[in-house]
Structure 1
Amino acid sequence: MEEFTARVWDVIVIGTGIGGGTVGRRLAEQGLSVLFVEKGPDLGDTAVSALAVDSADPEARMANGAWPKLVAAELDGKWCELDGMIGAGVGGTSAYYAATLERPEPHDLDPGPGHPHPTGGWPVGYEEMRPWFELAEEYFHISGEPDPLDPVPANLPAPPRVLPASDAALMEDLRRAGMHPYQTHMAARFLPGCANCFGQRCPRRCKMDGRSAGVLPALETGNATLLDRCSVSRIEADATGVQSLTCRRDGETLTLRAHRYVLAGGGLGSPSLMLRSGNEHWPDGLGNRNDLVGRNLMFHLSEIIAIWAGRGKGEGASRSISMRDLYYMQGERFGTVQSMGLVAGYGEILHAMNSRFDRSPLRRLRPLRLGLRLPARVAAQVLGQAKLFVGVLEDLPYATNRVLPDPDDEDRLRFHYDMSDELQRRRAAFRDAMRKAFRPNRAMFMGSTPQLNFAHPCGTMRFGDDPATSVLDRDCKVHGLENLYVADSSFMPTSNGVNPSLTIAANALRVADCIVQSMRPRLAAAGELGY
């Protein structure tokens, strides 16, 4: 381990997901020495079917690239354990993600009457972020079609894909109904013979994630090094800056040092580490002088709906279709509607019908539940298979929703979350809008209870210009710590109505260039600038 502990790196990046992998690649390409520190293992190009692990054993979970322990959550006052869909391995959660990378809307970032922070929650607006969105789209090889509702549509670097006939027919149906579908923006190189690896690890590196689009290109520069299976237990800091990291690897305690540090452990992991790292200078946790670290936790709500478009139009599973017609309607903040790349048949129909029955006034008459099998089978035979779509409903920040680190177990992520009345009301309105949007086709929601997307935690260390209301400054540097930056989803003041991956990647690129700019005088004096 001496090769890691004896050296003072230009930048140490904690975490190798979308944020960590992207910021590290950009820094390495700019000529800085980068050390990636990853809690989990480097699984290489091993194919693993899913991030969810049917085991609570930490070693079994880590071997599968999952966070070692189940997440403890207090949801609406009741404690439970859940998988959380959080990765721990090179690539982080992104190694298993669905690779949907879409830009937010301009009104998501810019202040105005439609913004949940009318005076401006994002210190960096959409036009300032546009170059970073474009660069991130190049890094992640984004393909798809421009959103026809976007007044300044994205110029995607990869050509549109050839759609399955069933998806093309369904898109025509939606256009005739007055909707504006387009090809979903996907982060993948669609190689000949490439299998559908969305939602699982990709053995051929065709899916672009934190590893394939970040860590591996960074290592190829010769300026980056990877230290996997290394858990950061504390960030050691004085009143103004970070001095070192205390880490554990194979039972050995390591001390790692750098000129700059980037925290990219995720919306739950990063604030947990900050809160555990308190000292006499920061008694309530690093950067936590105003009790904001870990607060304003947001997810997205997933509203899954099955669409029967007619015989032949439901065949095949493809993540091809997105729509933004419902994104922002009559002052309501909803979100994107996307195909999931999944189809529903008899089993899924029966599950949805059972779910509805279990919440109906008839639920006490259990024998009646068995009678649902016949109508479910008839529906599947008459209607054929359905395509599943998901509505991504924006969550809004509430200070009471927060990360609660376990003081006795650094591997245990914990949080408290209450479903607000406002979110429940918007959810009902969103579901009604989705029904109307698909009205030419038969449709059925696949669940009746709210489904939080626990893979999308964000907002727990928001950035802003005022230290009294934010943890990070506009460069995502922690207020009061001159050399600690954050490059994951925790920086986001709002969750927006799209998957957060592209926003995380774009901001990570911006943060990397801020770090290079801050180090320019030292590097120039040492003759180390790579340009």
Structure 2
Amino acid sequence: MFIDLRTLDDGSVLEADICIVGAGPAGISMARSLIGTSIDVLVIESGDMDYDDATQALYRGESVGVPYFGLEDARLRFFGGSSNHWDNWCGEFQPIDFQQRSWVPFSGWPFGPEELEPWYDLARPICSLGPRRKNAEIWDKLNVEPIVLDESRLKFHFWEIATPTRFGEVYREELRKAPNIRVLLNANATEVVSDAAAHKVESVELVTFNGHKARVKARHFVLACGAIENARLMLASDRIEPHGIGNRRDVVGRFFMEHPRDRIGSLATSDPFHLIDMFRPGWFGEHVFCPSITVPAEKTKAEQILNTRLQLLYVTDETSMATMRRFAQSIEAGRVPDRLAEGLWDLIQGTDITAYNLYRRAVHNRPMVPKPDGVQQVYFLCQAEQAPNPDSRITLSDRRDALGSRLPVLDWRLGELDKRTLQVQGKLLGGELARLGLGLFQFDPWLREGGTSWSPSMVGGYHQMGTTRMSDDERTGVVDADCKVHGLDNLYVAGSSVYPTGSNINPTLTLVALALRLCDHLKQRITERV
């Protein structure tokens, strides 16, 4: 059932067994997992079914550290959350991501990868992914011969890409029809209220743009609003605890992490086509796999670096590619191509790439590839793991949004290890490419420099993590291994904000797996007390 809070009486009090604040991938996955149970579930969503400018503006904030996107641009605030613009690039965390690494301060999860494996199995179909595939199987299906890397130094790792899954669209009817699920729309959570001893949450306060207020009482509460908003709501809930609920140790909002993405260097090569072909995303049935290069776990330990991946990209102004596609589409439609003479001249000008693509299609049945625009335009892009940093954090401003809530302030910081990792990995890559006779790798100038500065073109991956991190020790974490906030009996956090470390892979698949695991824990708690 879907309910618009604006249609309820001002001052309404709603009750549930579990209240989930946030209807993105984590919140919706949890609600779906509870369908058909005897547990009464109330999901709180700030937005409506579609995008709205005023609601989206509630994400605004300040950025005072490493340059970052506008905070209102990095997330979507309506039913389905950021899955509404998610490209569905996925992957599972690797064993080293869970380990405590002596050279990475604050690293280590409270459990190992085996704990998440069954939950990954359940999360994969929710994210529209197929079964796991071995690298050899993928290469064979993609009909590409990979270069033979020295796997003691570098190895291939794939992104898995499925048809974009808009959780708010795909799973809407299931939630609408579920008798034990209510979704409350246009309901903005402004405060989490605990008892006087700050041992248990009693309610969540809600407000709408038309001034209606409401209160939710529940046996258990789950914050699933995203890394910035989870921290923001906890910090703003200072009625009982002066520094924010669950923040006795001043950890809430700290350890903000992203995946820095930047060019690390270019490849001078006389024959770029095989590498371009090999690094292109390719279809395996209904799913796409995109190769990248990472450093094996033993080598990361030996070099004392982070777990980062590299992707080959290229720049092209090749017009013959577009012409060939246009000609092919016209011929398949049974008509003479438009601008025939102009198109033939384009193909003559690009004789080498035209002949190469004809050979690829006729002999190997492979897709066409473009010609790079000069030797400097084949380059490697990193998606880097960020070392946990307590000074990289979310705080609150004195400025307020349209509902009176204090705005978040992001101070994103990167350190020496983040940059040194890319310098080491670039040297390993350059050595392997030279050994294989594939060209000369050249660092981009910013990476040849010392210090911690990055290039002006560096961006994040829209992958916000870490602000309510998981740890058995409340001095270094906000939640425990069950995602329960330390010191509070019934407050939990779901989503990538609980990550102690962020790996190098997109976070959605893992946050869905963790949400399902949390849901199972809550089912057990409620069953035990019935």
Cα separation, partners in 2 of 1:472 and 1:215, compared to 1, 3 Å: farther
1:187 is displaced (CA, Å) by 4.0
Q: Structure 2: how far apart are the matches of 1:25 and 1:134?
A: 16
Partner of 1:23: 30
What SS does the aligned partner of 2:90 have? coil
Mapped contact 1:218–1:224 kept (Cα < 8 A): yes
User: Structure 1 residue 508 and structure 2 residue 515: aligned?
Assistant: yes
1:394 is displaced (CA, Å) by 0.5
Cα separation, partners in 2 of 1:79 and 1:458, compared to 1, 3 Å: closer
User: Structure 1 residue 400 and structure 2 residue 387: aligned?
Assistant: no
Partner of 1:288: 247
Residue 496 of structure 1 aligns with an amino acid whose one-letter code is S
Q: Structure 1: how far apart are the matches of 2:445 and 2:245?
A: 41
Partner of 1:254: 214
What SS does the aligned partner of 1:300 have? coil
Structure 2: give runs of 5+ residues left out of the alignment. 1-6, 283-287, 319-348, 355-369, 447-454
What SS does the aligned partner of 1:394 have? coil
Cα separation, partners in 2 of 1:214 and 1:412, compared to 1, 3 Å: farther
1:123 is displaced (CA, Å) by 0.9
Q: Which moved more, 1:101-110 or 1:315-324?
A: 315-324
What SS does the aligned partner of 1:208 have? coil
What SS does the aligned partner of 2:74 have? coil
Higher Cα Rg, which structure: 2
Q: Structure 1: how far apart are the matches of 2:8 and 2:469?
A: 36
Partner of 1:429: 424
Q: How does 1:109-188 map to 2 (within 5 A)?
A: 109-111=98-100, 116-117=105-106, 121-143=108-130, 146-148=133-135, 168-169=143-144, 172-175=145-148, 181=156, 184-188=159-163
Partner of 2:291: 322
Partner of 1:221: 178
Counterpart selection for 2:94 from 105, 113, 131: 105
Q: Structure 1: how far apart are the matches of 2:38 and 2:161?
A: 29
Residue 228 of structure 1 aligns with an amino acid whose one-letter code is L
Residue 282 of structure 1 aligns with an amino acid whose one-letter code is E
1:99 is displaced (CA, Å) by 0.8
1:317-365 CA-partner distances (Å, limit 9, x unpaired)? 76632235425433322323457xx873239xxxxxxxxxxxxxxxxxx
User: Structure 1 residue 271 and structure 2 residue 231: aligned?
Assistant: yes
Q: Structure 1: how far apart are the matches of 2:61 and 2:140?
A: 40
Cα separation, partners in 2 of 1:337 and 1:209, compared to 1, 3 Å: farther
Q: How does 1:357-436 map to 2 (within 5 A)?
A: 384-385=371-372, 390-407=381-398, 408-409=400-401, 410=405, 412-435=407-430
Q: Structure 1: how far apart are the matches of 2:95 and 2:78?
A: 33
**What TM-score do the two structures reach when normalised by structure 2?**
0.72
Partner of 1:243: 202
Mapped contact 1:84–1:454 kept (Cα < 8 A): no
Q: Structure 1: how far apart are the matches of 2:379 and 2:123?
A: 28
Q: Structure 1: how far apart are the matches of 2:257 and 2:493?
A: 17
Partner of 2:45: 38
1:395 is displaced (CA, Å) by 0.3
Residue 234 of structure 1 aligns with an amino acid whose one-letter code is E
Mapped contact 1:108–1:115 kept (Cα < 8 A): no
1:443-494 CA-partner distances (Å, limit 9, x unpaired)? 7889951624151121111122222322112111111211111001111111
Residue 93 of structure 2 aligns with an amino acid whose one-letter code is P
Q: Structure 1: how far apart are the matches of 2:57 and 2:443?
A: 31
Q: CA RMSD in A?
A: 3.8
What SS does the aligned partner of 1:243 have? strand
Q: Structure 2: how far apart are the matches of 1:19 and 1:246?
A: 21
Q: Structure 2: how far apart are the matches of 1:212 and 1:418?
A: 36
* Greater helix share, structure number: 2
User: Structure 1 residue 60 and structure 2 residue 34: aligned?
Assistant: no
Partner of 2:468: 461
Q: Structure 1: how far apart are the matches of 2:419 and 2:487?
A: 37
Q: Structure 2: how far apart are the matches of 1:428 and 1:41?
A: 46
User: Structure 1 residue 88 and structure 2 residue 77: aligned?
Assistant: yes
1:373-419 CA-partner distances (Å, limit 9, x unpaired)? xxxx99x9997158886432100111111101234333733211232
Partner of 2:309: 336
Mapped contact 2:157–2:292 kept (Cα < 8 A): yes
What SS does the aligned partner of 2:20 have? strand
Q: Structure 1: how far apart are the matches of 2:432 and 2:27?
A: 38
Mapped contact 1:174–1:181 kept (Cα < 8 A): no
Q: Structure 2: how far apart are the matches of 1:433 and 1:220?
A: 54
Cα separation, partners in 2 of 1:447 and 1:68, compared to 1, 3 Å: farther
Q: Structure 1: how far apart are the matches of 2:117 and 2:274?
A: 40
1:233-264 CA-partner distances (Å, limit 9, x unpaired)? 11121222111111122421121222211101
1:6 is displaced (CA, Å) by 4.5
Q: Structure 1: how far apart are the matches of 2:252 and 2:149?
A: 48
What SS does the aligned partner of 1:396 have? coil
1:104 is displaced (CA, Å) by 0.9
Partner of 1:309: 273
Q: Structure 2: how far apart are the matches of 1:95 and 1:283?
A: 36
